[in-house]
């Protein structure tokens, strides 16, 4: 009985703390909330054991960097992550296309062109800038937008995160087989689905990433190959404080030579190369905390 109750009790306590923190952050102006939580994360984060993984990943990706450069990037990564957490309480302020707003959008016409076809489309992106708020650049142009997300371990917090995202996207699909059929139905209805491509998928496709094969989720490329949906890369960058630039890139040309495996892999190679370029430009804005590569 105690074992069965342990997780539900912990989940409730975690959810209470999560909601209380959001309540406090909403009482602060966005810039202040973002800065304060950024400093807290920058101070505490590097002391946590998980930061050893971040340092190892950075050394793996940038073998030329010195230890103090690695440590500097880890601190900056934690500050950036803290700012993202604080910005959950103020997502509405990160809407796109507002006069004097906090977000500039490069090439928004690519998204509107996809919208105007009336067909589905797929956005490929990663954990850059504010990866939640970047959905506004589609939704604020009348694009029927959705996101594929990884469910939080705590179902009560997951429910709260879904509620927060609901101001940005029209639909949310959990990763895994359960959401696949719904994603396809949504695409066929003319919707746009955003997929974050930068995390390890154990049964994915091994594709080069910083010079090593990394197991990469193939769903976006497979759907583009099979149904002809455009594959649109989208990048979010934090400029200063809680100000961002969203860059929409031209669709990736997915080959359809008849060799499905080779054509899907070629699209994944191009996606990973783009993600790597973005990370190299702003390494502090990527999440180095997960196991992206096979263990050595």
* Beta-carbon-side half-sphere exposure of residue 244 (alpha carbons within 13 Å): 32
* Three-state SS letters, 47-93: HCCHHHHHHHHHHHHCCCCCHHHHHHHHHHHHHHHHHHHHHHHHHHH
> What's residue 294's pLDDT?
78
Return the DSSP state at 191.
-
The answer to whether 125 and 134 have CB atoms below 8 angstroms apart is yes
Q: What is the pLDDT of residues 60-90, one digit of tens each?
A: 999 999 999 999 999 999 999 999 999 999 9
CA distance 244 to 31: 13
Structure tokens at 205: 């496709």
Give the strand pairing for 192-196 and 121-125: parallel
SS3 245: strand
Task: Please name the helix (run of DSSP H) or strand (run of DSSP E) that holds residue 174, with its range, or none.
Answer: strand 171-174
Q: What is the pLDDT of residues 180-232, one digit of tens each?
A: 889 999 999 999 999 999 988 888 899 999 999 999 999 999 999 999 999 99
What percent of the chain is predicted at pLDDT more than 90? 78
The average pLDDT across 7-24 equals: 91
Query: In whole numbers, what is the pLDDT of the chain averaged over residues?
Result: 92
Quick check: 108 pLDDT over 50? yes
DSSP string, 235-287: EEEE-STT-EEEEEPPPB----SS-HHHHHHHHHHHHHHHHHHHHHH-GGGS-
- pLDDT classification of 3: cutoffs 50, 70, 90: very low
CB atoms within 10 A of CB 153: 10
The average pLDDT across 4-18 equals: 80
Return the DSSP state at 252.
B
> What's residue 88's pLDDT?
95
Give the strand pairing for 192-196 and 171-174: unpaired
Task: Please name the helix (run of DSSP H) or strand (run of DSSP E) that holds residue 209, with its range, or none.
Answer: strand 205-209
- pLDDT classification of 4: cutoffs 50, 70, 90: very low
> What's residue 2's pLDDT?
43
- pLDDT classification of 9: cutoffs 50, 70, 90: confident
Structure tokens at 266: 């070629």
- pLDDT classification of 179: cutoffs 50, 70, 90: confident
CA distance 250 to 230: 9
The answer to whether 200 and 213 have CB atoms below 8 angstroms apart is no
Quick check: 1 pLDDT over 80? no
Q: What is the pLDDT of residues 273-285, one digit of tens each?
A: 999 999 999 999 9
> What's residue 99's pLDDT?
72
Q: What is the pLDDT of residues 141-174, one digit of tens each?
A: 889 999 999 888 899 999 999 999 999 999 999 8
Q: How far is C-alpha 140 from the chain's CA centre?
A: 19
DSSP string, 89-117: GGGGGG-SS-TT-SEEEE-THHHHHHHHT
> What's residue 251's pLDDT?
97
Residue among 22, 24, 1, 8 at smallest CA distance from 156: 8
Structure tokens at 91: 């997502």
Q: Is the pTM of this model over 0.85?
A: yes
> What's residue 6's pLDDT?
54
67-87 vs 50-61: helix axis angle to the nearest 10?
Answer: 120
CA distance 129 to 96: 14
């Amino acid at each position: 009985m105690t074992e069965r109750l342990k997780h539900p009790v912990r989940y409730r306590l975690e959810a209470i703390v999560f909601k209380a923190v959001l309540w406090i952050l909403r009482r602060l102006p966005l810039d202040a909330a973002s800065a304060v939580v950024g400093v807290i994360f920058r101070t505490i984060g590097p002391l946590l054991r998980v930061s050893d993984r971040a340092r190892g990943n950075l050394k793996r990706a940038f073998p030329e960097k010195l230890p103090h450069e690695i440590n500097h990037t880890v601190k900056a990564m934690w500050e950036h992550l803290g700012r993202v957490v604080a910005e959950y309480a103020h997502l509405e302020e990160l809407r796109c296309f507002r006069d004097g707003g906090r977000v500039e959008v490069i090439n928004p016409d690519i998204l509107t062109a996809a919208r105007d076809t009336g067909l589905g489309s797929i956005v490929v992106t990663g954990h850059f800038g504010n990866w939640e708020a970047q959905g506004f650049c589609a939704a604020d142009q009348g694009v029927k937008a959705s996101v594929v997300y990884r469910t939080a371990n705590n179902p009560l917090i997951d429910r709260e995160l879904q509620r927060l995202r609901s101001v940005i996207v029209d639909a949310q699909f959990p990763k895994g087989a359960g959401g696949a059929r719904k994603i396809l139905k949504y695409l066929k209805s003319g919707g746009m689905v955003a997929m974050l491509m930068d995390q390890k998928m154990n049964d994915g496709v091994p594709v080069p990433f910083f010079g090593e094969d990394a197991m990469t989720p193939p769903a976006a490329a497979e759907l583009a190959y099979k149904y002809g949906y455009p594959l649109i890369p989208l990048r979010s960058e934090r400029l200063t404080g809680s100000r961002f630039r969203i860059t929409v890139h031209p669709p990736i040309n997915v080959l359809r030579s008849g060799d499905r495996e080779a054509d899907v892999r070629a699209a994944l190679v191009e996606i990973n190369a783009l993600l790597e370029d973005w990370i190299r430009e702003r390494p502090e804005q990527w999440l180095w905390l997960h196991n992206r590569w096979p263990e050595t």
